[in-house]
């Protein structure tokens, strides 16, 4: 791992087993020195959103396979997704997801707010009482605002199709638009109450 940082002395003392390059990640020569052409993942974590975006784009253009950037301004996130940055780290979204996972109960294992808080991704255990157990997915007539994206069954991840059947204790990953969370509660036969 290599770190590009203007404050070289501090990082070199703290991270003795990591190569620290003194410079600016917006400088093409510094990126070249860091070996950006052979980099699988470039991560930009400064306190400046604009620097993070520009350095991630420059890294991608210079040969990095993936670019991940820290963004503090939620209004930037839709723009970034169109520019080719692979992943965004958003403290605001992480905070919302963490809070949601604490205030929901039932068979929900984890929950994440996504897409500018327009939807939520749930990881839930299929209970015996659930309306989705033992039936082919095509018969469930789920609204378009609810999508089962994956099922973890017998130590295997399955991308579901119409004939896929969910069994008791399968872990399902479900996306639901905000307007459909109550419908999802009914389908899963759980209540997502406040603690």
When pLDDT is cut at 50, 70 and 90, the band that residue 6 belongs to is confident
User: Which part of the chain is CATH 3.30.70.1450?
Assistant: 93-188
Q: List C-alpha distances in Å: 45 to 56, 94, 173, 175.
A: 10, 15, 29, 28
This prediction has a pTM of: 0.51
pLDDT by residue (tens digit) across 11-47?
Answer: 667 667 777 777 788 888 888 888 889 888 888 888 8
CATH tag, 93-188: 3.30.70.1450
Question: Residues 127-156: what's their mean pLDDT?
Answer: 85
Q: Which of 27-31, 149-153, 177-181 has the lowest mean pLDDT?
A: 177-181
Q: What is 2-89's CATH superfamily?
A: NAD(P)-binding Rossmann-like Domain (3.40.50.720)
Buried b / exposed e across 64-74, counting CB within 10 Å, b at 16+? beebbbbbeee
Separation between Cα atoms, residue 37 and residue 41, nearest integer Å: 10
pLDDT by residue (tens digit) across 85-100?
Answer: 888 877 766 655 555 5
User: Which part of the chain is CATH 3.40.50.720?
Assistant: 2-89
**pLDDT confidence of residue 104:** 46
Separation between Cα atoms, residue 108 and residue 172, nearest integer Å: 10
Higher pLDDT, 141 or 105: 141
């Amino acid at each position: 791992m290599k770190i590009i940082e203007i404050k070289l002395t501090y990082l070199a003392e703290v991270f003795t087993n990591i190569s620290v390059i003194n410079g600016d990640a917006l400088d093409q020569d510094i990126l070249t020195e860091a070996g950006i052409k052979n980099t699988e993942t470039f991560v930009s974590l400064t306190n400046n959103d604009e620097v993070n975006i520009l350095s991630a784009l420059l890294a991608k253009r210079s040969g990095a396979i993936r670019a991940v950037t820290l963004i503090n301004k939620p209004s930037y996130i839709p723009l970034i997704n169109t520019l080719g940055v692979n992943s965004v780290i958003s403290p605001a979204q992480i905070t919302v997801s963490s809070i949601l996972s604490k205030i929901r109960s039932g068979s929900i294992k984890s929950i994440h707010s996504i897409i500018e808080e327009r939807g939520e991704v749930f990881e839930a255990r299929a209970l015996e009482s659930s309306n989705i157990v033992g039936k082919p997915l095509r018969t469930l007539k789920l609204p378009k605002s609810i999508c089962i994206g994956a099922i973890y069954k017998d130590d295997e991840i399955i991308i579901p199709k119409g004939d896929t059947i969910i069994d008791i204790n399968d872990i399902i990953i479900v996306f639901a638009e905000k307007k459909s969370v109550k419908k999802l509660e009914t389908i899963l036969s759980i209540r997502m109450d406040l603690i």
